[in-house]
Structure 1
Amino acid sequence: MTLRLYNSATRETTALEPVVPGRVGVYHCGLTVQGPPHIGHIRKEVVFDVLRRWLVHEGLEVTIVANVTDIDDKILQKGAEQDREWFAVAYENERALHQAYDVLGCLPPTYEPRATGHVPEMLEMIRELIDRGHAYVAGDDSGDVYFDVRSWPHYGELSNQRIDDMQAAEDAPPDGKRDPRDFALWKGHKDGEPETAAWPTPWGRGRPGWHLECSAMAAKYLGHEFDIHGGGLDLRFPHHENELAQSRAAGQAFARVWMHNAMVNLGGAKMAKSVGNTLMVSEVVKRVRPIALRYYLVAAHYRSIIEFSEESLAEAAVAWDRIEGFVRRAAELAGPGQLGDVTPAFAAALDDDLSIPAALADLQASIADGNKLISAGDIDALHPVLATVRAELDVLGLDPLAPNWNTSTGSASTEQALDVLVRALLDQRMAARAAKDFAAADAVRDQLAAAGVEVEDTPQGPRWSVN
């Protein structure tokens, strides 16, 4: 195993050494489904999708666990605001998350557990923490149970903070807490909350705290020690800090590597659910092709902030069109063929903390070589270049000839319909030129240009692309 990742826990880039040789277990925190996903959320899904594809390419067996937080204060609030059952809100947004997975070509997780389906495991963990002296039942008859942060001497190690420098945990009022920084493992049922949002426990009816959910589910599906835990950088504190503390305090080794992707910012600030519908995945893919949006989210290093703008999105779409244009031209000439292998430089780039920008630079060099071969008409030499380019794009989830981009909901049917229409006009143009009616031929070309379709005449016939 040659992959090296930046470990947020040690703040060093270290070699990945799987707990079980040949197998890698990855847990990354999924969406809290009080709303549909925006492109800031889905960046994490794309990053971990590329990680998974690379590990599989390298011959490893990969288990990906991405939870769904389907019970939470915000979900209950949304249900009340919309006068709907909280679980109806959660399920609707969970379906929107799955649609975003599909439209951007993300492989589904190996397991996608819901928090509401794992309450017994959470209660077992709370009992263990109470027995070990790291948790306590609030003394105010609220039914809350808290983790005692001062009982765990390593609390703050992930975010590199001292307890006395931390702000109070905002998950519950401080009345029943020993320390304002103590966080809720369990929340007692409150007046006005739906009865359906509560489970029986020795401390009274209630529901789980957010941090507890992920620890319990990670342990169930990946064991008490696993390889990679990840998510957006905004989760490092308090969510991942609290996960680490409660799991270690319960006697688990937990994650070996903590992997955090940077945010997608809007106007210099982290993108949030309050940004409105225009940046929801379902809306952005109406303005740019899904595969181009995936390229936009993939192209930057995962630890680099993406400053979103419509201009940068459009530039990425143009850059992607050039890559796809080469693949389709080469496939027309040489046939799609089979996937080859990646270059050593591409492999070295991904092994170096998943450095996709460096990998894309090597891919672009291969495309430049391929374009020279197309110009020279050297089709035999084009075959292996296309095989390599497609293999590298496949690792990135971007092979435009892959079945999911040609048959899925990712606008392929629209593209195929457009191709039929443009080809029909090009046939009319060719017939006009054959009849020496150049005015009619030029009129067809002008009509296509006005619609944003650029026509290139080549020895193999006319090709078209969207500007």
Structure 2
Amino acid sequence: MGDIYIYDTLSGERRKFEPFHPGRVGIYVCGPTTYDYAHIGHARPAIMFDVLRRFLEYMGYDVILISNITDVDDKIINKANELGKDPIEMAHYYAQEYLKDMDSLRVRRPNIIPKATRHMEEIINLVKTLIEKGYAYESGGDVYFSVEKFKNYGKLSHRKMEDMLAGARVEVSDKKRNPLDFALWKAAKPGEPHWPSPWGPGRPGWHIECSAMSMTYLGSTLDIHGGGADLIFPHHENEIAQSEAATGKPFARYWMHVGLVRFEKEKMSKSIGNVFLIRDFLKKYPPEVLRLMYLNSHYRKPYDFSEKNITDTIPLLEKIWSTYQILKKSASGGDASEQTKMRIRNAKRSIISALSDDFNTREALAEYLNFVNYAKDLHGPDARAALEFLGEMDYIFDLLPRGTGGDKEEKLIGLLLEVRNEERRRKNYDIADYIREQLEKMGIKIEDTKEGTRWYLI
């Protein structure tokens, strides 16, 4: 395994990656609160941590990825009340739709997808521990974490306590001793879902679930904790406080945060009304377009979603797919040339080097596309070697076309192209164009070249 460096949000430095157990990596990524269909902002951290997981596996690590689903929360309850639905059933429906969207985007499912409603025992036990250690207090059926008791509160977001109220997701309550104290347990209100506890019926606060579930599966100290940059404060800040107060150990060795997706320089938000659902995006474009858009950016920087970025990405994806189809048709056995072997070695070295340097997928993808551009004209053994290399790198990127069809389908497409080309020779362009249009509607792209007509899936 070569050295890998990661920018750690907590230290504010690029640090050499050294997991707690050599050869094994435990990653916890905060997942969605499922009260609506997922939007393209949800897709970015999911895609980036999916590729990080694949890269670490490619480098020889045994990776366990945990990503939760928050299925009980104020937002869920409020939305369910508006619609007259059961909040838990509604949350589970949207959770399934979220997973379907992720499947479409080629995001491999995490090893474990824990839900808050199924970990009440662990959550309650963690709250009890915090009370026993003097970090939390009960007030009128609620339980709050006392931020003043935890030394260095604010160390992740690099904020001073007196500056934290501005822009914080803080609930005002006369039950709190300090406005920054956050709820670990909330007393039940009429009509809300609730569970029995030592403090009366209620439900967990937003932050406690992630600490309880992550430590249940990965232990007291995680290797990597990740999520969107909007979670740094207060969510991840509060996770650190409650977890380290309970265990006395560092909660995570590395903190990785993915930049927000913006539209016209504004954060994508339902309240602003600039949200684009994944399901709507997929009605217009192949899912790989969104995957490629996000990989063609550095994960820590904000991403400006725009129609231009979509139109700029589609030709890149078509180039990858057309080259792959061309190589499949022109590949044959034998030993590749020294030039192609050298190009493959150099491309591989450059891609791995970029990913090892704070997971720079943008630079890695540029190297990948440079090789694709070189490979498009290869034939015979060189084409076979290039095809094998693209397949090897696709373990990480997962961008190559799927479902290329069987032998019968290929022969049928070939026959249609013969008919089209014959009609062109006869100058029956309306018929030829009709065949092209119908094939493209079925996801088959036609390309006329000096060597003849090529086709590939889009």
Whether the TM-score (by the shorter chain) exceeds 0.5 is yes
Provide TM-score, normalisation by structure 2.
0.90
> How has the CA–CA distance of structure 1 residues 170 and 306 changed in structure 2, closer, same or farther, with 3 Å as cutoff?
closer
For 1:98-109, list aligned pairs within 5 A. Answer: 98-109=99-110
- 1:409 alignment counterpart: none
Q: 1:421 to 1:307 in 2, by over 3 A?
A: farther
> Which residue in 1 is equivalent to 2:448?
456
Letter in 2 for 1:57: Y
Measured against aligned partners, the alpha-carbon deviations of 1:369-389 in whole angstroms (never above 9, x if no partner) come to 2134x3xxx422222222222
Match of 2:94 in 1: 93
Partner SS, residue 250 of structure 1: helix
Q: State the aligned residue count.
A: 440
Which residue among 363, 369, 376 is the counterpart of 2:374?
Answer: 369
Contact preservation (8 Å) 1:454, 1:466:
no
**In structure 2, C-alpha distance between the alignment counterparts of 1:379 and 1:419, rounded to whole Å:** 20
Cα distance change on mapping 1:331 and 1:275 into 2, 3 Å: farther
Would you identify which runs of 4 or more consecutive aligned residues in structure 1 move more than 3 Å? 168-172, 273-278, 415-425, 430-433, 442-455, 464-467
- In the superposition, the TM-score normalised over structure 1's length comes to 0.88
In 2: Cα distance, 1:107 partner to 1:62 partner: 13
2:387 aligned partner: 386
Deviation by residue 1:417-450 (Cα, 9 ceiling, x = unmatched): 99898655422124447xxx5223x444433566
Conserved? CA contact 1:263–1:306, under 8 Å? yes
Moved more, 101-110 or 296-305: 296-305
State the shift of 1:454 in Å.
Answer: 4.5
Equivalent residue of 1:317, what SS? helix
Query: Secondary structure of the residue that 2:283 maps to in structure 1?
Result: coil
The code of the aligned residue for 2:434 comes to Q
1:315-347 Cα distance to aligned partner (Å, 9 max, x none): 21121111111111111111699xx98711111
Q: Report the equivalent of 2:198.
A: 202
Mapped to 2, the partners of 1:318 and 1:78 lie a distance apart of 40
> What amino acid is the match of 1:164?
E
Distance in 2 between the 1:117 and 1:260 partners? 27
Q: 2:360 aligns with which of 355, 362, 383?
A: 355
Structure 1 residues 261 and 278, CA, compared in 2 at 3 Å: closer, same or farther? closer
Could you tell me whether the CA contact under 8 Å between 1:38 and 1:273 is conserved in 2? no
User: Do 2:321 and 2:456's aligned partners in 1 also have CA atoms closer than 8 Å?
Assistant: no
**Residue number in structure 1 paired with 2:288:** 291
* 8 Å Cα contact 1:72-1:210 kept in structure 2: yes
Q: Unmatched 5+ residue regions in structure 1?
A: 407-411
Once residues 155 and 48 of structure 1 are traced to their aligned partners in structure 2, the CA distance between those partners, rounded to angstroms, is: 27
Quick check: 1:327–1:390 contact (8 Å CA) kept in 2?
no
SS in 2 for 1:228: strand
Which amino acid in the other structure matches residue 455 of structure 1? E
Q: What residue is the counterpart of 2:338 in the other structure?
A: none
| 1:224 paired to 2:229 | no
2:145 aligns to what? 147
1:417/1:311 Cα in 2 relative to 1: closer, same or farther (>3 Å)?
farther
Contact 1:171/1:184 (<8 A) preserved: no
Alignment of 1:18-417 (within 5 A): 18-138=19-139, 141=140, 143-167=141-165, 170-190=169-189, 192-194=190-192, 197-251=193-247, 252-274=249-271, 279-334=276-331, 343-372=348-377, 374=378, 378-400=379-401, 405-406=402-403
Q: How far apart are 1:362 and its partner, in Å?
A: 1.3
Instruction: Calculate the aligned-residue CA RMSD, in Å.
Output: 2.6
Deviations 1:173-217 (A, max 9, x none): 320111101000111112x332xx111111111100010000000
Kindly state the Cα deviation for residue 220 of structure 1 after the two structures are TM-superposed.
Answer: 0.0
Aligned residues of 2:4 and 2:17 also touching (Cα < 8 A): yes
Any idea what the Cα deviations from partners look like across 1:22-79, whole Å, max 9, x if unmatched?
1000000010001111110011110000001001111111000000100000000011
Residue identity matched to 2:427: A
Indicate how the Cα distance of structure 1 residues 283 and 445 shifts in structure 2: closer, same or farther if over 3 A, else same. same
Write the distance in 2 (CA, Å) between the matches of 1:188 and 1:119.
14
- Distance in 2, Cα, partners of 1:354 & 1:235: 20
1:3 aligns with 2:4: yes
Aligned position for 1:429: 420
- Unpaired runs of 5+ in structure 2? 335-343
| 3-state SS of 2:174 partner | helix
Distance 1:275 1:421, change over 3 A: farther
Amino acid at match of 1:429: R
| Contact 1:3/1:352, CA 8 A, preserved across alignment | yes
1:447 and 2:434 equivalent? yes
| Structure 1 residues 439 and 399: alpha-carbon distance in aligned structure 2, compared to 1, 3 A threshold | closer
Distance 2:203 2:268 in 1: 28
User: In the alignment, is the contact (CA less than 8 A) between 2:263 and 2:304 conserved in 1?
Assistant: yes
